[in-house]
Each structure stands twice: as structure tokens, then as C-alpha cells.
């Protein structure tokens, strides 16, 4: 059995990572942050999530829907993503950690999992 040097490798709590990735909203937050070149505010994340869930343009989404998304982000999604060491928060916003960047989360195959096929008939064809 070969010995592996783990001194400079990140040890991952996979249960936390899988728990964080289990929710489509959290996967979307990760994808949204990955596609940005700068940190995002919680409000920006809430607007993006509200737009995604309502399928409306940002200027047509009801403020209450965005506020509900913001509550979910602050109290549920960010804590789980932070516990999995996938995002960090700072004064300038929320951003992906280096650890998140090392995981194969943003490959074309993963993005195919994140964006499910539209209707039941299309899924059967796959």
C-alpha cells in the first residue's frame, strides 16, 4: 500500500460538500459566482435567484420575492456553502473559495447536471 503525503492537501468533508450541492439553489449560487469576475453582494445573489425561479426579467420580479430569496441565502444557503468551504463572505461580497475552484464543479458535465432538461418528454429521450 502506497503512502500519500497529505500535509499540503485540503482534506474535504464530503458530507458537507454533498449536502451543500444537494440543493439546486445552492448549485446555482456557485455557478453564478463562478461566472462573475468579482464578488457578488447578497442582494445580487437574491435577485439572480429570484429571476431564475420566476423566469422573469430582473426589473419585473416582485421585491418580496427577492427579499424571500435573500432570507434563504443568508440563513440557509450561505451557511451550508460556507460549512462546505465553497464560498466566503467579505465586505465586498460573496466569492468562491480556492477549495471550490479545485473541485470539478464547473465542468461541462456538471453544468449539464445543474441545468435540468425542460420537460418530462425531453428527459425520456435522453
Mean pLDDT of the chain, nearest integer: 83
Q: Could you tell me the domains of the chain?
A: 14-102 (1.10.10.10)
Neighbour-count burial of 23, counting CB atoms closer than 10 A to its CB (0-12 exposed, 13-18 middle, 19+ buried)? middle
The reported pLDDT for the residue numbered 121 is 54
pLDDT in tens, 12-29: 788 999 999 999 999 999
pLDDT in tens, 74-123: 999 999 999 999 999 999 999 999 888 887 777 665 555 545 555 555 54
Strands 93-96 and 87-90, bridge-based pairing: antiparallel
Q: Which residues pair with 96 in a beta bridge?
A: 87
Amino acid at each position: 500500500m502506497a503512502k500519500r503525503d497529505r500535509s499540503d492537501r485540503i482534506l474535504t468533508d464530503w458530507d458537507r460538500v454533498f449536502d451543500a450541492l444537494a440543493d439546486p439553489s445552492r448549485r446555482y449560487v456557485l455557478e453564478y459566482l463562478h461566472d462573475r469576475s468579482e464578488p457578488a453582494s447578497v442582494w445580487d445573489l437574491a435577485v439572480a435567484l429570484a429571476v431564475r425561479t420566476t423566469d422573469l426579467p430582473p426589473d419585473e420580479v416582485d421585491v418580496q420575492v427577492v427579499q424571500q430569496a435573500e432570507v434563504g441565502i443568508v440563513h440557509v444557503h450561505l451557511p451550508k456553502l460556507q460549512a462546505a468551504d465553497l464560498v466566503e463572505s467579505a465586505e465586498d461580497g460573496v466569492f468562491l473559495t480556492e477549495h471550490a475552484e479545485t473541485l470539478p464543479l464547473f465542468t461541462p458535465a456538471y453544468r449539464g447536471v445543474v441545468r435540468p432538461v425542460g420537460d418530462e418528454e425531453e428527459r425520456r429521450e435522453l
